[in-house]
Amino acid sequence: MKYIFFLSLFVILAEVPYYFAKGADKNLVIDNVVDIKDFKKILRTKTNVLVCFSSSLKQSVPVVQVFKEAALAIKGLGTMILVDCSGEAKKMCKKLKVSPETYILKHYKMGEFNKDYDRKETVTSMVNFMRDPTGELPWEEDAGAANIVHITDGASLAKLIRKEQKPVMIMFYAPWCGFCKSLKPEYAAAAGELQGQAILAAIDVNRPENAIVRSQYNITGFPTLLYYSNGVMKYQYEGENNKEGIISFMQNPHAPPVKVVESEWSDVDSEVVHLTTSSFDPVIKEEASLLIMFYAPWCGHCKRMKPEYEKAAAVMKNEGISGMLAAVDATKEQAVASKFSIKGYPTVKYFSYGEFKFDVNLRESAKIVEFMTNPQEPLPPPPAEVSWSEEKSDVVHLTEATFKPFLKKKKHVLVMFYAPWCGHCKKAKPEFTKAAESFKDDPKVEFAAVDCTTQHGLCSVNDVKGYPTIKYFSYYSKSVKHYNGGRTSEDFIKFMIDPEFVPVKKEADNWIIGDSNIVVLNDDSFKKEISSPTPTLVMFYAPWCGHCKRMKPQFTKAADELKAEGVTARFAIFDCTENPKITEEMDISGYPTVKLYVNGKFVKDYTGNRSFEDLKSFMKTKLKDEL
């Protein structure tokens, strides 16, 4: 009896940690938030939050189970909240304007709504999403990659290689790799066409748990494609990175061609003197005029410069130009390269009697010869452009940390989301700054700016798709709207005097299409429409632009008359103020800009007069050229 008692006690004690752990796991999902204040407090203190709003927990059991398992897997990486909108949280759901039919999952980042969850409702998908909620869709979840066998770990990979009877190609990749991204659609297309003949598989070896796979299969670069037959690795694929190349290889597997080993540059006969660590100092001390090219054998820019450098050395010898052209392999002569702080290739430096004088940025033989004929120190580069935030102005520059607190206290704020390299932003910047100065004494009005190249998350949350994007805020979220007006200081000032004023568009300001032969383009239709074999003349305009208004009737008349004459040509218009994506892509910096496209390709800018006669003449000439 005593033995049975102690055995029972041991079993009970053994179960205690399990029940505690089970209870702890349950607590990983926060399910007791019913007040809007508590909900907002969580959003303020947690940066990565996924919320499952349910109107019926009974009908939501499958997704809630997945939700709980995902919460366990991402412990420490994010926060998972379950809200029952049919119970005590009903008022909170109403205030959040959430009314799920059964359930809906919403993600919040940095205290703000990010997006509705749009991935598969599986533990793996949910975990992947929470690891990178603003990242791209994982390849294994992409419907276009359904024919690829996606491998998750080393054990699954070994099993596939060992058991699969068909030929297998495996792509080892990293999600951040640009070459991998380019290859993915080609690889997926090849997998579709090879269905039943071969297996095309892929494994993300960038995951920490797959670090051992990289080592095991000797993966040193991305993408690496290995071909297996009957469980044995036969070849590494080094063919064309396209569907056709992969299919051709899988139908006729073969070893890659033997690479021809390049001769070392120092072994090639030329007038260039090759220096080593031991010969460097003695040679440079004796030369009055010496140009040295520091290079790396694998460097593409160096390979392109080599023949130019050799040609320049030969010309100098033939024409009796004094001086020497020398070269140093910086990958071999590391002591010399380190002494002169060589960071990139090629680096070209000029010396005189052992003394370094200055850097030279020349790569063409003629320019090198010209320089060595009369060596002069190049003019210093222009000073680096000062960032907008460092310029003294009345524009307030915001970050993720300051954006919300600043806007919450201000009645009227106009915010420009910009990129420093954007031409339209550069043009708008002085006008925006000038407008801000006009309101410097008005505490209710502010002009602010956000640099989207450094504040990615903030711009993403505010749905910035092109630059500049200008938005009006009143007390942060009380009123938010896009600014679509002109970009002069007068336009900005006029808007901020009365942001609620909605101007009634005059008929003359609109482009009256009616029965004319004008095609209206936008960001979504542009590329499809210009891919037509019929020459398409596109006028990029802004509704407020005076030159555009004067050109409109001429452009329309040219289109109508050519149609009446039976000439096959198309005239199209594109409103740049409403379509920032293509405006930026086509580098439209002034209005009107008129460009000709044929078969989806840019042919020529129209720079003639803006009369209908000149427009007609231009199109007829281009049609003749096409014929």
- Output the six-digit token pair for 383: 């000073």
Q: Does the active-site annotation cover 422?
A: yes
Give the whole-angstrom CA distance, residue 557 versus residue 564: 10
Task: Give yes or no for residue 89 having a pLDDT over 80.
Answer: yes
Strands across the sheet containing 536-541: 518-521, 570-575, 536-541, 593-598, 601-605
Q: How many CB atoms lie within 10 A of CB 176?
A: 11
pLDDT category at 81 given cuts 50, 70, 90 is very high
Which one of the listed residues 52, 93, 180, 425 is annotated catalytic?
425
pLDDT digits (tens, 9 = 90+) for 538-569: 999 888 777 888 899 999 999 989 988 888 88
Report the chain's terminal Cα–Cα distance, integer Å: 106
Question: Element (H or E) spanning 336, and its range?
Answer: helix 334-339
Residue from 491, 484, 469 nearest 577 by CA: 484
Q: Does the active-site annotation cover 299?
A: yes
Contact criterion met (CB below 8 Å) for 50 and 78: yes
Give the whole-angstrom CA distance, residue 298 versus residue 258: 18
Q: How many CB atoms lie within 10 A of CB 93?
A: 22
pLDDT category at 513 given cuts 50, 70, 90 is low
Which one of the listed residues 422, 452, 459, 576 is annotated catalytic?
422
Contact criterion met (CB below 8 Å) for 328 and 292: yes
CA trace torsion 471, 477, 479, 484 (10° rounding): 10
Region 385-404: mean pLDDT is 91
- 54 strand-pairing partners: 84, 103
The pTM (predicted TM-score) of the whole model is 0.41
Q: Average pLDDT of the chain?
A: 87
pLDDT category at 135 given cuts 50, 70, 90 is confident
Task: Give yes or no for residue 207 having a pLDDT over 50.
Answer: yes
Give the whole-angstrom CA distance, residue 150 versus residue 201: 6
Query: Of residues 590 and 270, which shows the higher confidence score?
Result: 270
Query: Of residues 306 and 384, which shows the higher confidence score?
Result: 306
CATH code reported for the domain at 140-251: 3.40.30.10
Q: Tell me, what's the pLDDT at 1?
A: 47
pLDDT digits (tens, 9 = 90+) for 151-164: 999 999 999 999 99
Contact criterion met (CB below 8 Å) for 205 and 214: yes
**Which segments of 513-600 are extended strands (E)?**
518-521, 536-541, 570-575, 593-598
pLDDT category at 8 given cuts 50, 70, 90 is very low
Task: Give yes or no for residue 21 having a pLDDT over 60.
Answer: no
Give the whole-angstrom CA distance, residue 405 versus residue 410: 9
**Intrachain domains 140-251 and 266-373 with the same fold:** yes
pLDDT category at 52 given cuts 50, 70, 90 is very high
Q: β-strand 469-474 against 412-418: which pairing, if any?
A: antiparallel
Cα angle 487-491-492, degrees, rounded to a multiple of 5:
80
Q: Tell me, what's the pLDDT at 12?
A: 41
Q: Which CATH class is domain 388-497?
A: alpha beta
**Percent of the chain residues topping a pLDDT of 90:** 57
Residue from 375, 282, 278, 272 nearest 324 by CA: 272
Q: Quick one: three-class SS letters along 186-231?
A: HHHHHHHHCCCCCEEEEEECCCHHHHHHHHHCCCCCCCEEEEEECC
Q: Does the active-site annotation cover 85?
A: no
Which DSSP letter does residue 504 get?
A: P
pLDDT category at 515 given cuts 50, 70, 90 is low
Q: Which CATH fold topology does 266-373 show? A: Glutaredoxin (3.40.30)
Task: Give yes or no for residue 142 having a pLDDT over 90.
Answer: no
Region 64-78: mean pLDDT is 91
Region 237-254: mean pLDDT is 93
pLDDT category at 9 given cuts 50, 70, 90 is very low
Q: Which CATH class is domain 36-135?
A: alpha beta
Residue from 361, 364, 409, 417 nearest 388 by CA: 417
Region 222-243: mean pLDDT is 94
**Listed range (61-70, 342-351, 375-384) with the worst mean pLDDT:** 375-384
- 539 strand-pairing partners: 573, 594
**Percent of the chain residues topping a pLDDT of 70:** 92
- Output the six-digit token pair for 104: 């809906």
CATH code reported for the domain at 518-626: 3.40.30.10
> Residue 325: what residue type?
L
Task: Give yes or no for residue 295 having a pLDDT over 60.
Answer: yes
- Output the six-digit token pair for 599: 């078969």
pLDDT category at 512 given cuts 50, 70, 90 is low
- The structural domains of the chain, with segments of one domain joined by +, span 36-135, 140-251, 266-373, 388-497, 518-626
Which one of the listed residues 93, 302, 452, 548 is annotated catalytic?
302
pLDDT category at 7 given cuts 50, 70, 90 is very low
pLDDT digits (tens, 9 = 90+) for 397-426: 999 889 998 998 899 999 999 999 888 889
- 173 strand-pairing partners: 204
Task: Give yes or no for residue 11 having a pLDDT over 80.
Answer: no
Helices 489-497 + 423-438 axis angle, to 10: 50
CA 233 to chain CA centroid, nearest Å: 35
Q: β-strand 48-54 against 79-84: which pairing, if any?
A: parallel
Task: Give yes or no for residue 3 having a pLDDT over 70.
Answer: no
Q: Tell me, what's the pLDDT at 124?
A: 87
Q: Does the active-site annotation cover 548?
A: no
